Copies of this chain bind each other. A is one copy, B any other.
């Protein structure tokens, strides 16, 4: 890369000092009309634009935020990145993306790295599950006042800003829908042990209880990862062991494909043979007419980003530890059958 043009070059060409040139570029202070024009001409002639690195060092702000998440190939994640980047762009911020692949050590490394790079803030979808502890040496990374907003998942015992869906309520509502239709044995397919999933299960349990049903842990089948193949296997096992199941409730995106494949293999028709209710809207859902809990990822990203901006500007310390719930919508399609006995 050849040498870039600096403000010195501009100043020299315009016949003014570096300071005056800087005033024109940065548009502050007082500059005579004559100087301004000369500098502007020089800028144009040299095609100058400021070196952001130098500005960062000087101003102590990088105009950059980081999004640290499991895997951009996941649809929740890439929708989040899209929303954040769009919002950030409006304010002139760029977005660095880091995949943890759900590995905590990698997550820690990324946070460390982003701090060394002095990004102005971090949006984090943490890989910590509910039963894992943060080691003392790393606690500072999560607890310092470095601007950071959690998204989708919270870490147990950590007072931090979190933006996420109203999981309990939406899951309560979704489960109630199935219960109203007469389903009593509702199987669950989900990834193990993220706070998000725990909340959704809480909503499920609450709805069951209201119908006088106590939750049966055996109907909850967990996968270790967001992997369709594993989802498929787990679904098979669940159906084998619990033939009484009339509905399957899937708590993560990327899992429904596996479930559908298993149903296809067994020649079970969605709705007629088994009801399906699913979190997150994918291409599949419309095609299979799946009733779906749709998270407003766009909003989550936007709110997270703006909240982060507040933290960055020091406007928001009072709200530390705040959780913002973005409502998820249930889109009723046609995958849940009414199995109430018409008794008269």
A residues sitting closer than 8 Å to B (CB atoms) are 1-2, 4, 47, 49-54, 56-57, 60, 62, 64, 71-73, 75, 78-79, 81-82, 85-86, 94-99, 112-118, 140, 145-147, 228, 254, 257, 260-261, 264, 282-284, 286-287
Contact = CB atoms under 8 A, between A and B. Distances in A.
A288 B317 CA distance: 51
Contacts of A257: 283, 286-287
Contacts of A113: 94
Contacts of A94: 96, 98, 113-114, 117
A71 B62 contact: no
Nearest to A113: B94
A116 B81 contact: no
A173 to B, nearest CB: 26
A118 B51 contact: yes
Given A257-B283, A283-B283, A82 B99 contact: yes
A109 B54 CA distance: 20
Contacts of A54: 57
Contact of A95 (B52, B97, B145): B97
A206 to B, nearest CB: 31
Contact of A85 (B57, B79, B98, B283): B98
Contacts of A140: 47
29 contacts: A1-B60, A1-B145, A1-B146, A2-B145, A47-B140, A51-B57, A52-B118, A53-B53, A53-B56, A53-B57, A53-B62, A53-B117, A57-B57, A64-B96, A72-B78, A72-B81, A72-B82, A73-B82, A78-B78, A82-B99, A94-B98, A94-B114, A94-B117, A95-B96, A96-B97, A264-B287, A283-B283, A284-B284, A284-B287
